[in-house]
Homo-oligomer: A and B are copies of this chain.
Amino acid sequence: MPVNYATPAPEALFPVAGVRLGTAEAGIRKKNRRDLTLVELAPGSRAAGVFTQNRCCAAPVTLCREHLAISNDIRALVINTGIANAATGEQGMKAARDTCAAVAQTLGCKSDDVLPFSTGVILEHLPTDRLIAGLPAAKTDLDADHWHAAAHAIMTTDTVAKAASRRIVLDGKTVTITGISKGAGMIRPNMATMLGFVATDAGLAPELLAGLAKDAADVSFNCITVDGDTSTNDSFVVIATGQSGLNIDSAASPHWLAVREAVIAVAQELAQAIVRDGEGATKFITVKVGAGGTADECRKVAYAIGHSPLVKTAFFASDPNLGRILAAIGYAGIDDLDATGVKVWLGSQGEEVLVSENGGRAASYREEDGSRIMKEAEITVRVDLGRGQSQATVWTCDFSYDYVKINADYRS
Give residues of chain A (323-350) contacting chain B, Cβ–Cβ below 8 Å.
Answer: 323-324, 326-332, 334-335, 337-340, 342
Within 8 Å of chain B (Cβ to Cβ): is A407? Answer: yes
**Do A90 and B56 form a contact, CB below 8 Å, given A326-B123, A404-B403?**
no
Q: Is there contact, CB below 8 Å, between A331 and B410? A: no
The CA-CA distance from A319 to B157 in the complex, in Å, is 17
**Do A228 and B403 form a contact, CB below 8 Å, given A121-B321, A360-B92, A409-B317?**
no
Q: Is there contact, CB below 8 Å, between A185 and B310? A: yes
Within 8 Å of chain B (Cβ to Cβ): is A281? Answer: no
Q: Is there contact, CB below 8 Å, between A324 and B360? A: no
- The complex is assembled from copies of this chain, and their number is 2
Give residues of chain A (183-219) contacting chain B, Cβ–Cβ below 8 Å.
Answer: 185-186, 188, 190
Chain B residues with CB under 8 Å of A361's CB are 87-89, 123-125
Residue of B nearest to A357 (CB): B89
Within 8 Å of chain B (Cβ to Cβ): is A358? Answer: yes
Q: Is there contact, CB below 8 Å, between A331 and B123? A: no
A10 → chain B closest CB, angstroms: 33
A279 → chain B closest CB, angstroms: 9
Q: Is there contact, CB below 8 Å, between A53 and B319? A: no
Chain B residues with CB under 8 Å of A230's CB are 327, 330-331
Within 8 Å of chain B (Cβ to Cβ): is A54? Answer: yes
Within 8 Å of chain B (Cβ to Cβ): is A405? Answer: yes
Our pick among B232, B309, B338 for the contact of A228 (Cβ within 8 Å) is: B309
The CA-CA distance from A316 to B407 in the complex, in Å, is 9
Chain B residues with CB under 8 Å of A122's CB are 321, 323-324, 326-327
Instruction: Among A121, A313, A314, A339, find the residue whose CB has the most chain B CB atoms closer than 10 A.
Output: A313
Number of interface residues of A (CB under 8 A): 73
Q: Is there contact, CB below 8 Å, between B358 and A89? A: yes
Q: Is there contact, CB below 8 Å, between B340 and A89? A: yes
Within 8 Å of chain B (Cβ to Cβ): is A408? Answer: yes
Residue of B nearest to A338 (CB): B55
Q: Is there contact, CB below 8 Å, between B55 and A331? A: yes
Q: Is there contact, CB below 8 Å, between A190 and B331? A: yes
The CA-CA distance from A307 to B310 in the complex, in Å, is 13
A113 → chain B closest CB, angstroms: 26
The CA-CA distance from A404 to B311 in the complex, in Å, is 11
Chain B residues with CB under 8 Å of A407's CB are 309-310, 313-314, 317
Residue of B nearest to A319 (CB): B411
Chain B residues with CB under 8 Å of A321's CB are 121-122, 410-411
Within 8 Å of chain B (Cβ to Cβ): is A231? Answer: yes
A361 → chain B closest CB, angstroms: 5
Q: Is there contact, CB below 8 Å, between A319 and B410? A: yes
A411 → chain B closest CB, angstroms: 5
Within 8 Å of chain B (Cβ to Cβ): is A104? Answer: no
The CA-CA distance from A400 to B401 in the complex, in Å, is 8
Chain B residues with CB under 8 Å of A337's CB are 55
Q: Is there contact, CB below 8 Å, between A327 and B229? A: yes
Within 8 Å of chain B (Cβ to Cβ): is A237? Answer: no
What are the 10 tightest A-B residue pairs by CB atom distance, in nearest-first order?
Answer: A122-B323, A89-B360, A56-B330, A123-B323, A317-B408, A230-B331, A313-B407, A54-B330, A55-B337, A89-B359
Residues in chain A within 8 A of chain B (CB atoms): 53-57, 84, 86-92, 121-125, 185-186, 188, 190, 227-232, 307-310, 313-314, 316-317, 319, 321-324, 326-332, 334-335, 337-340, 342, 355-356, 358-361, 399-401, 403-405, 407-412
What are some 9 contacts across the A-B interface (CB < 8 A)?
A54-B331, A55-B335, A88-B361, A89-B360, A232-B326, A309-B403, A316-B404, A317-B407, A404-B404
